[in-house]
Amino acid sequence: MPSVLVLNGPNLNLLGTRKPEVYGSTTLADVEAMCRDAAGRHGLTAEFRQSNHEGQLIDWVHEFGARAKAGECIGAVFNPGAYTHTSVALHDAIEGAELPVVECHISNVHKREAFRHHSFISPVARGIVVGFGVRGYVLAIDGLAALHEEGRASS
């Protein structure tokens, strides 16, 4: 069964434990369960990863880019956390690995500080889901699965 990667960047391991006014009270383990259900509805398995380290995130983008090319994975839902706003290296990794990515943010970054308004990831993302809380991960999986099916239909 093909998979969808759900990738989370720095500090998202703290989800549900602090700052509930911004990120809600759902934990990352809860998000993982929601993603497994959503993936299952599309006949996919979810591979769930989180790291606080940029290099580790880059290594996973490379690994899953190769697996997407092999038809084992349809792409990634990626919440890069604060690396969204800083990381040319993650931009280059996604572009280089040709991994289909839907960028996902829990909060509406455009309603927040100006430094959160720019994303290095958006120009290399297939789609973006912003501001729907943790439900955004499910919407992003639905969107990535739809784009994948569309791609298969037209090829």
**Which burial class, exposed, middle or buried, applies to 63 when counting CB atoms under 10 A from its CB (0-12, 13-18, 19+)?**
middle
How many residues sit close enough to ligand CA2 to count as binding (CB under 6 A)? 16
Is residue 148 annotated as part of the catalytic site, yes or no? no
Under the binding rule (CB under 6 A), the answer on residue 23 touching ligand CA2 is yes
- Whose tokens are 């369960």? That residue is 33
Segment interacting with ligand CA2 (CB under 6 A) among 30-38, 49-57, 99-107, 143-151: 99-107
Is residue 117 annotated as part of the catalytic site, yes or no? no
Catalytic residue, from 23, 42, 91, 137: name it: 23
Task: Kindly list the distances between the CA atom of residue 137 and the CA atoms of 51, 69, 88, 107, in Å, as whole numbers in the listed order.
Answer: 17, 23, 23, 12
Closest CA to 104 of 131, 124, 82, 66: 131
Under the binding rule (CB under 6 A), the answer on residue 29 touching ligand CA2 is no
The smaller minimum CB distance to ligand CA2, of residues 39 and 106, is found at 106
Structure tokens at 109: 């970054």
CB 23 within 8 A of CB 106: yes
Calpha distance 11→82 (Å, rounded): 9
Name which position in 4, 5, 7, 12 contacts ligand CA2 (CB under 6 A).
12
Under the binding rule (CB under 6 A), the answer on residue 82 touching ligand CA2 is yes
Name which position in 76, 93, 99, 109 contacts ligand CA2 (CB under 6 A).
109
Residues marked active site are found at 23, 105
Question: Where does this chain bind ligand CA2 (CB under 6 A)?
Answer: 11-12, 14-15, 18-19, 23, 79, 81-82, 84, 105-107, 109, 116
